[in-house]
Amino acid sequence: MHHAKTLAAILVAATVAWAAPADAEDPALAIHVLDRLAFGPDAASLKAIRALGVDGWIDRQLDPASIPEPAMLTERLDRLETQRLDAVRLFETYGPPARTAGGADPSAVKAARQRARIIVREAAMGRLMRAVTSPRQLQEVMVDFWFNHFNVFARKGLDHLWVGDYENRAIRPFALGRFRDLLEATARHPAMLVYLDNWQNAAPGSPGAKGGSSGLNENYARELMELHTLGVDGGYVQADVIALARILTGWGIAPQGRAPSENGFFFNPRRHDFGDKRFLGRTIHGEGAAEIEQALDILATSPATARHISTELAQYFVADRPPPALVDRLTQRWLASGGDIRAVLTVLFASPEFRSPDDFGRKFKTPFEYVVSAVRAGGLDVSNFRPLLGTMARLGEPLYGCLAPDGYKNTRDAWLSPDALTVRISFAMALGAGRLPLNASLPAENAGAPEPPAPAMAPMPLDAGRLLALLQPTLSATTQEVVQGAPPSMKAALILGSPDFMTR
């Protein structure tokens, strides 16, 4: 009863504190950097940042190829067989059965769908493995950022086949590169083309327009401007949406029997509108796929795009309400560098706004950030990710499960609620007490099946002293006092369930 009352008191205090945050303490800059550029501190990253210095560590993170991946991580990723297949092979191996004259066999369709569940499962495992253990932390943070920016929903059409390949081929390689390359990679991937329906986009009356794809589909064109580039106030009108949709006709996926141009992408000139278009004040002549490249150039180099994404970056790394002066400087750097993401982040991380103690610990962690940071802080070796995925789902952030094209939010208002706090504290209690079977071995053949009962294992509580030593600079005097006065079995749970650990 005493334990329950202690946690209840923490929950009430947390709710009040989060509703009206007090002045932030002044934690070490190293911990702040690890909270924002990584998924929280662990022993290895704190050791690295102390050895290199904050600026040296940041410089290295901006060049992830210079950071070797641990052999253990590489070996574990290599065991995820579906992660090694491209979109074409995934469709061939796990796609729906071929239609016959009598139509598709419902039982065969169901069996194929069940078999394909392993793809999303292994994609989620790969994401979590990297987020928890990769020393390339900034790259993984940016993968999370860009996936939400260019969100696709795994349960739309055949995207359950392609969501992992989309992350690995269209997002991760370009996360710190040039935005124009990232934009094109997402625009060409079948996961995006299916999610936002451009595979159905055809010139009305064209020979290639049949059935459900018998005309213009504006969905991708609209989101490409509103979310991916210019922003809702980016200066375009409905006529520009229609023009861009016309430009994008024929830009899709390979029909059965046709070889894809690359990784499932296919441009079909029979479905394209070859008329001239007026787009954002410019005339684009009917030239086929070259029109789309021209439109992407226009969008990627627009000042509106520079401001829209600079605002999003400042919101993610600095504050829910980004400082206007910082957004202005990031926008200028974006335009001067031609949309070089690394160059823009360099300005952001060196800015006084990012390094101001007033904003330390003011960003509320998303469910993904909270769960991953808890595992990293605990120094846990995870082989069974199902309890983590289940917790994120209960908190409203299932991986690859965001239906809306604008992805999951990263602001306090999106994730702070009494129900969510209850789930987080329950997770902290289970993790702190060692009751989650995170190192359980599950048969590979069950990877796509419904979750089995957790194997019975002896609890392995977290070392509260180790947690306290790692996180002490970010813990308030009140939290430290409560932890010190709690029974030993409750200390780790109180640290991970504290208001201080819920923020970054």
Residues 92, 9, single domain; the answer is no
282-284 and 251-253 beta bridge pairing: unpaired
Domain presence at residue 449: yes
Residue 448 confidence (pLDDT):
40
Task: Give the residues across from 53 on adjacent strands.
Answer: none
Number of domains forming the structure of the chain? 2
Residues 6, 91 within the same domain: no
Residue 472 shares a structural domain with residue 369: yes
Domain final residue pick, 175, 208, 231 = 175
Domain shared by 365 and 478, yes or no: yes
Distances (CA, A) of 206 to 135, 198, 270, 274, 497: 51, 15, 7, 10, 59
Residue 368 maps to a domain: yes
Same domain for 23 and 118? no
Residue 399 CA to residue 407 CA, distance in Å, equals 11
The tokens describing 412, both together, are: 């306090």
Length of the chain: 504
- Is there a contact between 252 and 193 (Cβ–Cβ < 8 Å)? yes
Domain endpoint, select from 175, 192, 218: 175
Cα distance between the two ends of the chain: 31
Place of tokens 């010190």: 484
Of 117, 151, 175, the last residue of a domain is 175
Q: Enumerate residues 6+ apart whose C-beta is below 8 A from 182.
A: 146, 150, 170, 171, 174, 175, 341
pLDDT the model gives residue 446:
42
In this prediction, residue 185 carries a pLDDT of 98
pLDDT value of position 306: 98
- What local confidence, expressed as pLDDT, does residue 106 receive? 86
Alpha helix (H) residue ranges in 134-178: 137-149, 159-165
In-domain check, residue 504: no
Give yes or no: residues 376 and 481 share one domain.
yes
The pLDDT assigned to 38 comes to 98
- Classify residue 7: in a domain, yes or no: yes
Asked if residue 15 and residue 92 are part of one domain, the reply reads: no
Q: Is residue 13 domain-shared with residue 77, that is, in the same domain?
A: no
Owning domain of residue 456? 2-27+361-496
Which pLDDT does position 104 carry in this prediction?
Answer: 73
Quick check: is 247 in a domain? no
Q: What is the pLDDT of residue 208?
A: 65
Give the pLDDT of the chain (504 residues) as one tens digit per residue.
455 455 545 544 544 444 434 333 334 799 999 999 999 999 999 999 999 999 999 999 999 999 999 999 999 999 999 999 999 999 999 999 887 666 778 888 889 999 999 999 999 999 999 999 999 999 999 999 999 999 999 999 999 999 999 999 999 999 999 999 999 999 999 999 999 999 999 999 887 665 555 699 999 999 999 999 999 999 999 999 999 999 999 999 988 767 788 899 999 999 999 999 999 999 999 999 999 999 999 999 999 999 999 999 999 999 999 999 999 999 999 999 999 999 999 999 999 999 999 999 999 999 999 999 999 999 999 999 999 999 999 999 999 999 999 999 999 999 999 999 999 999 999 999 999 999 876 544 444 444 555 555 667 899 999 999 999 999 999 999 999 999 999 999 999 999 999 999
How many other C-beta atoms are found inside a 10 Å radius of the C-beta of residue 107?
A: 9
